[in-house]
């Protein structure tokens, strides 16, 4: 199913976060990870985009999805995953992540995004009218107005030669 235009801003942010996951996975495979640089970048991305993204989903998407039959338990799972991911992002702030934690962050974030895209967004699109999706989109635009394109700027130490794109 094509993504409804009203959910595309979140899907674009999902693409940014997935790009981070791919870059992080590639860096971990080289076994040459600058923990300080990665934690700094992860902190910045969370502060500039992902934190606002989570809050927007929790304020706009999740309450709407809880009213859709069949999506309530999925929303509870996603909310719990936000909590786990926030804890990992908070550890980046305190610079207490290790290689294994970075690997877990990339895996959990990627899995979470795919669940939102494939289950939550698809369920909303199947269940909501055009007018409802339009109203949802307007609320999302307002909630997301402070998010930046954080993943557009990469920390130099987290770049891999020839592998900067997912």
Tell me the domain boundaries of the chain: 8-148
Question: What pLDDT shows up at residue 158?
Answer: 52
Give, rounded to a whole angstrom, the gap between the first and last alpha carbons of the chain: 23
Q: How far apart are CA 60 and CA 16, in angstroms?
A: 20
Tokens of 76: 């509870």
CATH architecture under which domain 8-148 falls:
Up-down Bundle (1.20)
The per-residue pLDDT for 73 is 97
Beta-carbon count within 10 A of 80 CB: 10
| Global confidence as pTM | 0.86
pLDDT, position 150: 43
**Relative orientation angle of helices 8-30 and 99-115, to the nearest 10 degrees:** 150
CA distance 102 to 34: 11
Within 8-150, where are the H helices?
8-30, 35-45, 51-56, 62-66, 72-93, 99-115, 122-127, 130-143
Per-residue pLDDT band at 157 (split at 50, 70, 90): low
**143-156 pLDDT tens trace:** 998 775 544 444 44
- Answer for the pair 13, 49: CB distance below 8 angstroms, yes or no: yes
Q: Write b or e for each residue in 25-47: b if 16 or more Cβ atoms lie within 10 A of its Cβ, otherwise e.
A: eebbeeeebebebbbbbbbbbbe
Does residue 152 sit in helix, strand or coil? helix
Token reading at 11: 């899907």
DSSP state of 26: H
């Amino acid at each position: 199913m094509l993504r409804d235009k009203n959910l595309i801003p979140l899907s674009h942010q999902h693409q940014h976060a997935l790009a981070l996951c791919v870059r992080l996975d590639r860096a971990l495979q080289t076994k040459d990870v600058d923990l300080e640089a990665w934690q700094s970048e992860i902190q910045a991305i969370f502060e500039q985009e992902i934190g606002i993204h989570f809050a927007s989903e929790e304020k706009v998407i999740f309450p709407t999805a809880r009213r859709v039959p069949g999506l309530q338990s999925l929303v509870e799972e996603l909310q719990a995953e936000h909590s786990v991911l926030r804890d990992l992002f908070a550890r980046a702030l305190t610079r207490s992540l290790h290689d294994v934690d970075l690997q877990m962050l990339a895996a959990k974030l990627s899995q979470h995004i795919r669940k939102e895209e494939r289950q939550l967004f698809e369920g909303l699109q199947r269940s909501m009218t055009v007018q409802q999706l339009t109203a949802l989109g307007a609320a999302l635009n307002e909630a997301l107005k402070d998010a930046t394109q954080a993943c557009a700027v990469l920390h130099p130490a987290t770049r891999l030669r020839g592998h900067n794109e997912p």
